[in-house]
Structure 1
Amino acid sequence: MTAIDSDTLVRDFVDTFNAQDADALAPFFTEDIVFAAYGDAPVKGRDAVVALWKGVFANFGQVKFETVHQAVNGDVVIAEQVHGLALPGGKLAPIMNMAVYELRDGKIAAWRDYTNPAYASKLLQG
C-alpha cells in the first residue's frame, strides 16, 4: 500500500466514523484487528470492535473525530486528532488524542488511541 493509499484510507475511515454507524466501520477492519484506547484493555476482533463502537455511539450524545495532522510511513499512519465527545445533554468536549493505525492488505489491523483519560473525564464532566 502506498502512503497516499494509507492516508486516504484513514481519512475515509474517520469520515465514515463521524456518521456514527458502527456497522459501516467493519469493512475498514481486518478480521483480527486489535483496538486499544485510553488505557483500557485491548479489544480484539472486528465484531468486538464494532460492538464496542455501537455501545459508545448509543451512550454518548455526540462523538466526532477531527484530524489535525496526519503522517504516513508505508502501512503506519499517525494522526493527531481531536475527539469531540459529549455525554447526553452535555457540551462537546474537545479531547486531544494521538491515534496510530497499522494497516494490512488495505485494512486497519491495529488501532491505538493515546490520550490522558483523567483529563478526558474532566472535560466530559464539563
Structure 2
Amino acid sequence: MAATDNDTLIRDFVNTFNAQVADALGPFLADDVAFTAYGDSPVEGRDAVIALWKGVFANFEQVRFETVHQAVNGHIVIAEQIHGLALPGRKLAPVMNMAIYELRDGRIAAWRDYTNPAYASTLLQA
C-alpha cells in the first residue's frame, strides 16, 4: 500500500475491497478501527472488521463499491458511493451510500457507511 495522499489511499482501498479478499483490507485499517454500516452497531478492531467482510463476501454473490464523488479535508474523506450488492441468484442492487473515512497515520481509524437500510433491503429483494 503506497498511497501518496488521503484521496489516493481511499481509492486504493476501494479498489482492493472490490477484489473481495477480506484479508487484503488489513493493511488499510488501524488496529483499533471502528466500522459502522447502515445504522448497525459498530464493529471495532481490525480483526473484527475483516471477519465481518469475510462473512459478507461469503454470503453475497457480488459485492462491489463504486465511488461517484469523493472529497477530502485533511484526515477526513467523504465518498458518495454505489454499493453493488447481489444475493445468490438475484440481480445486482445499486445501493446509494455515503461513506465517511477518518484517517490516522495513513490508515483508516473510523469508517461509517450511511444509507437507508429499508431501501437497501427492498433493492436486495427485487
2:85 is the counterpart of 1:72: no
Identity %: 79
Following superposition of structure 1 onto structure 2, how do residues 35-74 of structure 1 map, counting pairs within 5 Å? 35-74=35-74
- In structure 2, the gaps of 5 or more residues are none
Instruction: Give the whole-Å Cα distance in 2 for the aligned partners of 1:34 and 1:76.
Output: 14
Unaligned runs of 5+ in 1: none
TM-score if structure 1 supplies the norm length?
0.97
1:14-53 CA distances to partner (integer Å, 9 max, x unpaired)? 0000000000000000000000011110000000000000
TM-score (norm 2): 0.97
Report matched runs for 1:15-34 at 5 Å: 15-34=15-34
The alignment covers a number of residue pairs equal to: 123
The letter for the 1-side match of 2:10 is: V
